[in-house]
Each structure stands twice: as C-alpha cells, then as structure tokens.
Chains A and B, each alone.
Chain A
C-alpha cells in the first residue's frame, strides 16, 4: 500500500534552553519522528541574533542527526541561498548526502523574511531574486556536472520556497519541488493560486511534481486549551502582523491563530479544519507539520508529532511504515 502523501515536520530550532540542550533536543525530536514514521524532517535556517532560531547551519545540525537516524530524510526548510556560496553549499550538501546514505533534501529560498541580515552578508535585498536565480543555476550545475553519484542525485532533491507566481513557475521549469506555507500566506487567496501555477507549469514527463505544504498543527484537549497554551507565544506575532499590514486594530489570539493558519484543538477539531483547508490534500505530495511554538518543550513537541502520525494523518489515508509491526 502506498501512502497518498509523505509526512514530514519542520522545526525552527527555537532556543528553549542553552544552545547545547536545544541541539540535543533537536536530535531527540528527529529520532522520535523517525520512530513515528515521519519521512522527512526539515530544519529552517535563521541567521544572527535577530531570529528566533539557533540554526544558522542546518546542514551541520542534520549531519549530527544523521549519526542517530537511518531512514528519515534530512531537509533544509529553507536555506537562504543569496547568503551562500553555491559551490560551498553543493560541497556541504554532497558530503552530508554521502554520510547519510543519500537522505538529503535541499530547500532553498531568497530570504525575503531575513531582511535585517542582508547587509551583514553584503547582499542587496532588492536584488535577492536575481541573486537567487544566478546561484540556483550554479548550484544545479555543480550537481549535474559532478562525477560523484551522491552529488548528481541532489539535482533531484531541490525545493524552492517562493511567494510569487513567477517563483512557482521557476521551480516547475527547473523540475524542482515547491514549498508553500513557510510564511504567513492566506491558503485560499495566496497559496492556492501558487500551487496551481506550479502544477500547471510542470511539464517534465519523466518526473512528478513535488509540492510540500507546511502547516502549524497543535493538538490539545480542545480548541480552548490549545489557544490558552499558544497565547503567550503568539502575542509577538500580533504586532508583527500589524507591521506587515496583515492585520489592524485589536487582534485576538483566535485571530492570530487564524492568520497563521494554525490547526489546533482535539484530533476531531484538527481533522475537520485540515479538511476545510483550501490548499492542502488536494494538492500536496508532502504534508509538513510545525508543532512547536517558542515555549514548547521537547516533550510537548514529541507528543504532538505522535498524535499527528498516529491519529490525524491516518484519517487522510497515511500509514506509518512501522504501523502493524
């Protein structure tokens, strides 16, 4: 029996403790996710102190994780390509791919959410799209022209995160995967048209499109409890939404949760809200969940991954490779 989609999770490696404890917990999270049958774990990249994440180097974290896991795919979600030397990135990804028995997936973005970091890396924010395109080209050539099989195969493991139809079209033209939901975009009015642009543009007969859709999923006893648990962590997002002109005036926790596309509550609540999500199971090949907010503990996160893999994803036809064993 083949699954209708692959199940993955994404983490921002938020600093919940000393960095070393945070990294140890990250390894634990991947080990637990693999045990639950998750097919991929995605690590976001956050540069310098302004971000919430302790993860400027996802490939190094994934290299440590590779030593503790066997099957789960090790993915970046995403690497800010304009800050990278694409040749060095290709080398790093290839070495990790060798060390991990070919489990690397490389998500790439142009860094639109990292505006404050651009001057630190001597990159012009306004030119980030062109820089992305140029570096993507170099990166792809590195993989295509390599004589190492572990490098060649990475050409088919690239994903883009874009928020424009041009970006969706680019990903499809390059035969790359496409990631949606990395930023706060309305599923109906923004994400759905992007998914359609990507799928409609895809014309590679030899390969299938790869569409990963990311959603925050917070299982709890009920919606009320989930909202109470999330409230302290979501407050800062209220100000951010206003700054980004995605909200105005008084904004409630429920509004913030809604704007951030957070599926929350009981298994029944979440199942029904996922069913209503206008840009999800009709489109995706990879369902990627985010289960941590800033104050989540490692035990919270593992429990949520457990519930999603064992109680929620099966409602949509997904089964863990380990189920029934």
Chain B
C-alpha cells in the first residue's frame, strides 16, 4: 500500500507545543510562537499547528489554543491554523463548537480542528474528571461538536451561530480507532506512539479501507506529525536535546540512562541529525507514501527561540523539498 489513487498533493506544516521550562517564560513563548508562525507562513508552509496543555503539564504553556490562534490570525493571512490537539474530554463540547466557529470566521476559514482523547492523568485530575471516562466523554463530545458544527438543531430550533458549514470537513482526530475516524469523515493525525501499540501502517490501512467505502470520491486526510530536529549532525543534535529527551522518558521509565538515548529517540519517533540524515531516515518510513500532510515539531522543552527559528529554516529549506520530491504524489 504505497501511493493510493485518491491521493492529493502532500502539504507541509509546523507544530508548536509551546514548551517552556518555567511558567515565568510563558509570555515569551507566546510571542516567539507568533514569530515562528509568521516565519512558517513566509516560507510557504501550509499549516501552523499548536498543542494544548493544561496546568503546564509536560511544560506546555498553552492551555487555550483557540484564544492564541484568534490573536495569531490577526498577524497572518494565509497559513492554516490548526490545533494538534485539543483534549476533547476536558472541553464542554458546545462551547468548543462556538469558539471554533468564531475562530474560523475570524481567520477567514483557516481553522483546522484537531482533537484527541488525552492521556495525562494529572490534567484529568485537575478537572475532577476520571481519566477512565475519557473514551465515553470523547465519543459524547465529538457527537455534540460535530452535530453543532454541521448546523443541525442543538435543541428545538436552536443552531450554532455564526454558521460555519465548511468547518465540519476540517476536523482531525489523533486516535487509534482509525476506522471510527474514517467513518466520521475526519482526518487522521499520526502522532508518535509507544512501540507496544499497533503500528501506524496498520492504522492507515484500516483508515483507508473504511474511508474508501465511505467517501470514494474524496481524498483521505492523513497527517504525519513528528519531532524533526535538524542540526550539524546526529552527535551535535543529541547533545542539544539529550537532557530534554531523558527528562521526558523518565516520566515513564524512571531509570532511563543517557547510554540508551538513541533508542529513546527512535521510540519517541524523533528524526534528528543533519538534514541529509533526516531525509535518509524519513525515506525509510513505510507510512509516508500514504500521508497527505507532514508536520514537524522542531522544539523540545528547552529549545530557545533562535534555535527553533534556525531549525524551522533547515526544515523548510532542505527537508520539505526533499520529502516532497520523494513522497509528494500530485
């Protein structure tokens, strides 16, 4: 299963998780995020994605992606503004629909609404919502959200205002239940996942099989999102991001050691090194032939604004053209 016939051209994006080691630097993360988004727009990327983190979990400083994007929309003109992802079980679904509708209008239809179930127990605890309920809440909330965005009656004759008929076609889900995502007609976000979970190639196959029976005429939407950390060479990049990666891994493997750094990087789905090395590694990825969108996260916890901008430039100038010529279908 390489290039499928319904494939559209490959588009490229950039994902910002607003990592800040200290909450005192939240404001500068919001401002440098704006500069990076403008840089992404100027260098021709299709989409700028932002993540949501509550209560600074994983050192992520942005709990309100839609508020930030409403601001960012005023500083940009063309780039699509995406969420990757909003933790849907923790959102009141109808309020989310309203916010998404207002942002879509404010941004001249540039919103891409990415949703996930969340996994971080700490966030759920803060909201007083049992993490075990997340699957049911996700299903309930996505039904309410989709119904509202589609302009259907919410109760009696009340409908969402402002109306946003196109937004229901711009929902994405980061989910292992890829059949359900396809059944809902939504895009599939492939974020890195632990090695013990089903391979992405399997999720893609299930997604595309379902998609083709549902919407044979419409191109499927699959987004591949990875940490892409370009630098001088693998050793240099490992020195730059090593402590951040170990810090991350130690949440799950407390005894993680620097000796196994390369294994952790691979398991976390990170591509790192000289742009040529990254391109070589990406060219071996069996799933890339099936994706319609490729988004790079160039920051780890302690990346400075300048470093992020430098990596983003290496990504857009060297990696994007190479990946496009390798996998861009159209």
Partners in one complex: yes
- Binary A-proximity of B144-167 (CB < 8 A = 1, otherwise 0): 000000000011111111110000
B159 pairs with A48, CB closer than 8 A = yes
Instruction: Name the contact of A83 in the complex, choosing from B63, B95, B108 (C-beta under 8 A).
Output: B95
Contact check, A95 vs B94: say whether CB atoms are below 8 A apart. Answer: no
CB-CB under 8 A from A54, the residues of chain B are 161-162
Query: Is A49 an interface residue, CB under 8 A from the partner?
Result: yes
- Residues in A24-73 with C-beta less than 8 Å from chain B: 46-51, 54-57, 59-61, 63-64, 66-68
- Chain B residues with CB below 8 A from A66, complex form: 71
Complex contact A98–B106 (CB within 8 A): no
Interface pair B26/A148, CB less than 8 Å apart:
yes
| Interface of B: prevailing SS | helix
B30: contacting residue among A55, A88, A99, CB under 8 A: A99
Given the interface pairs A85-B92, A88-B91, the reply to whether A56 lies near B161 with Cβ below 8 Å is yes
A96 and B67 form a contact (CB under 8 A): yes
User: Would you call B99 and A60 a contact (CB within 8 A)?
Assistant: yes
Which one, A64, A83, A88, contacts B71 given CB within 8 A? A64
Which of A20, A48, A99 contacts B67, CB < 8 Å?
A: A99
Task: State in angstroms the CA–CA spacing of A94 and B64 once bound together.
Answer: 9
CB-CB under 8 A from A46, the residues of chain B are 161
Q: Is B70 an interface residue (CB 8 A)?
A: yes
Please give, as numbers and ranges, the residues of chain B lying within 8 Å of A98 by CB-CB distance.
26-27, 30
B64 contacts which of A23, A51, A92 (Cβ < 8 Å)? A92
Tell which of A115-123, A209-217, A220-228 binds the partner. Answer: A115-123
CA distance A56 to B96 in the complex (A): 10
Q: How far is the CA of A103 from the CA of B77 in the complex (A)?
A: 25
A19 to B160, CA, bound (A): 13
Given the known inter-chain contacts A19-B162, A84-B92, A85-B95, please indicate yes or no for A48 contacting B64, CB distance below 8 A.
no
CA distance A147 to B102 in the complex (A): 30
Find out whether the CB atom of A48 lies under 8 angstroms from the CB atom of B161.
yes
Query: A49 to B155, alpha carbons, bound, how many Å?
Result: 11
In residues 63-112 of chain B, which contact A (Cβ within 8 Å)? 63-64, 66-68, 70-71, 73-75, 90-92, 94-95, 98-99, 101-103, 105-106, 108
Give the number of residues in A that approach B within 8 Å (Cβ atoms): 42
B38 at the interface (CB under 8 A from A): no
Residue pair A23, B105 in contact (C-beta under 8 Å): yes
For the complex formed, measure the closest distance between the CB of A222 and the CB atoms of chain B, giving whole angstroms: 36
| Contact string against B for A residues 101-123, beta-carbon threshold 8 Å, 1 for contact and 0 otherwise | 00000000000000011011100
CA distance A67 to B90 in the complex (A): 28
Which residues of chain A come closer than 8 Å to B54, judged between CB atoms?
Answer: 87, 91
B251 contacts partner chain A, Cβ-Cβ < 8 Å: no
Q: Mark A165-200, 1 if CB is under 8 A from B, else 0.
A: 000000000000000000000000000000000000
Instruction: Take A116-B158, A120-B154 as given contacts and tell me if A57 and B71 are in contact as well, using a CB distance cutoff of 8 Å.
Output: no
Q: Is A150 an interface residue (CB 8 A)?
A: yes
Q: Contacts A20-B105, A92-B64: A64 and B70 contacting too (C-beta < 8 A)? A: yes
Instruction: Give chain B residues whose Cβ lies under 8 Å from the Cβ of A61.
Output: 70, 102, 106
A73 to B226, CA, bound (A): 40
Is there contact, CB below 8 Å, between A120 and B102?
A: no
Check B98 against A56 for contact (C-beta < 8 Å). Answer: yes
Determine whether B126 belongs to the interface, using a CB cutoff of 8 Å to chain A: yes
Q: Which residues of chain A come closer than 8 Å to B154, judged between CB atoms?
A: 48, 120
**Which residues of B in the span 8-32 have a Cβ within 8 Å of any Cβ on A?**
23, 26-27, 30
- The CA of A54 and the CA of B160, in the complex, are separated in Å by 10
A122-162: contact bitstring with B at CB < 8 Å (1 yes, 0 no)?
00000000000000000000000001101000000000000
Smallest beta-carbon distance A51→chain B, Å: 7
- Any chain A CB within 8 A of the CB of B168? no
Cβ < 8 Å to A, chain B residues 103-140: 103, 105-106, 108, 126-127
Residues of B within 8 A of A91 (CB): 54, 63-64
Q: Is the CB of A60 within 8 A of B102?
A: yes
CB distance from B23 to the nearest CB of A (A): 6
Contacts of B204 in A (CB 8 A): none
B267 shortest CB reach to chain A, Å:
31
Residues of A within 8 A of B160 (CB): 48-49, 56
Contact assessment for A92 and B67 in the assembled complex, using a CB-CB cutoff below 8 Å = yes
Q: At the interface, yes or no: B227 with Cβ under 8 Å from chain A? A: no
Most buried by B among A116, A120, A121: A120
Query: B220 interface residue, CB < 8 Å from A?
Result: no
Contacts of A57 in B (CB 8 A): 95, 98-99, 101-103
Given contacts A99-B30, A119-B155, contact A67 B92 (CB under 8 A): no
A145 to chain B, nearest CB (A): 11
Is A147 in contact with B70, judged by CB distance below 8 angstroms?
Answer: no
Chain A 271-303 residues near chain B, CB threshold 8 A: none
A-chain residues with CB within 8 Å of residue B162 when the two chains form the complex: 15, 19, 54
A-chain residues with CB within 8 Å of residue B155 when the two chains form the complex: 119-120
Inter-chain CA distance A11–B89, complex, in Å, is: 33
Beta-carbon contact of B64 and A83 below 8 Å: no
In the complex, B62 has a CB within 8 A of chain A: yes
Q: What are the residues of chain A within 8 A of B66 when measuring CB–CB?
A: 60
29 contacts between A and B (CB under 8 A): A15-B162, A19-B105, A20-B106, A48-B160, A51-B161, A56-B95, A56-B101, A57-B101, A57-B103, A60-B106, A61-B102, A61-B106, A63-B67, A63-B68, A63-B70, A64-B73, A66-B71, A84-B92, A85-B91, A87-B126, A88-B63, A88-B64, A88-B92, A91-B64, A95-B62, A95-B64, A95-B67, A96-B71, A120-B94
Kindly list 13 other residue pairs between chains A and B, CB separation below 8 angstroms, not including A61-B70, A68-B74: A23-B106, A46-B161, A54-B162, A60-B70, A61-B102, A85-B91, A85-B92, A91-B63, A91-B64, A95-B68, A96-B64, A99-B30, A150-B27
List of 4 A-B pairs having minimum Cβ-Cβ separation, nearest first: A67-B74, A56-B98, A19-B162, A91-B63
Q: Which residues of B contact A (CB under 8 A)?
A: 23, 26-27, 30, 54, 62-64, 66-68, 70-71, 73-75, 90-92, 94-95, 98-99, 101-103, 105-106, 108, 126-127, 154-163
